[in-house]
């Protein structure tokens, strides 16, 4: 039997990964919103306004509209506005519930709000949907699991995150805190 122990970590190390965007096909403000969420070259408040204008002024198909809500949610979350980000994710999920990135970002926002059971449910859905940034879903689920006392589950999720993206340094920092022993 394996036992997994984690050393305590500071809150900065526990910051969830919340950068999964949803691609918008075509041009216009909705595409500018996506680019702002993905590349971060625009101040989040300015980028959020671009997303809002896209939602108000552009004729978008359901897929692009849902993506724009998710991308605006990402920008709102980066500003620490978790409740309005969650509102955007809820709208996007009603439109396109099969979009893993929306569930992933919702899980991250819920971690920031310290609602770990709800975060786990969202992140499990992101994993079930095979989210494009699957390593981030496992990484975030590990944070939520550890926060609920599931140390072994957290460890295995960090291992899976590392397997899916060996170049993600945050996972290495997390795994360095663990000690695995046998009984």
Check residue 36 and give its pLDDT: 85
Q: What's the domain range around 157?
A: 1-17+134-183
Q: Distance from CA of residue 18 to its chain's centroid?
A: 4
Q: Which residues contact 103 (CB under 8 A, 6 or more apart)?
A: 89, 93, 122, 123, 125, 126, 129, 131, 137
* 2-6 vs 178-182, strand pairing mode: antiparallel
106-153: per-residue pLDDT in tens?
A: 999 999 999 999 999 999 999 999 988 999 999 999 999 999 999 999
Are 60 and 8 in a shared domain? no
Are 127 and 67 in a shared domain? yes
The CATH number linked to 121 is 1.25.40.10
């Amino acid at each position: 039997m394996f036992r997994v122990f984690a050393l305590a970590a500071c809150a900065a190390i526990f910051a969830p990964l919340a950068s999964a965007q949803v691609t918008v096909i075509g041009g216009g403000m909705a595409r500018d919103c996506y680019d702002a969420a993905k590349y971060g070259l625009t101040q989040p408040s300015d980028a959020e306004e671009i997303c809002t204008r896209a939602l108000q002024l552009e004729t978008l198909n359901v897929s692009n509209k849902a993506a724009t809500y998710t991308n605006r949610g990402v920008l709102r979350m980066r500003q620490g506005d978790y409740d309005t980000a969650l509102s955007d994710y809820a709208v996007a999920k009603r439109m396109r519930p099969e979009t893993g990135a929306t569930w992933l970002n919702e899980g991250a926002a819920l971690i920031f709000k310290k609602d770990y059971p709800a975060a786990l449910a969202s992140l499990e859905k992101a994993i079930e949907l095979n989210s494009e940034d699957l390593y981030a879903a496992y990484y975030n689920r590990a944070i939520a699991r550890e926060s609920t006392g599931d140390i072994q589950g957290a460890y295995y999720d960090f291992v899976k995150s590392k397997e899916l993206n060996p170049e993600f340094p945050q996972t290495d920092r997390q795994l360095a805190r663990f000690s695995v022993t046998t009984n």
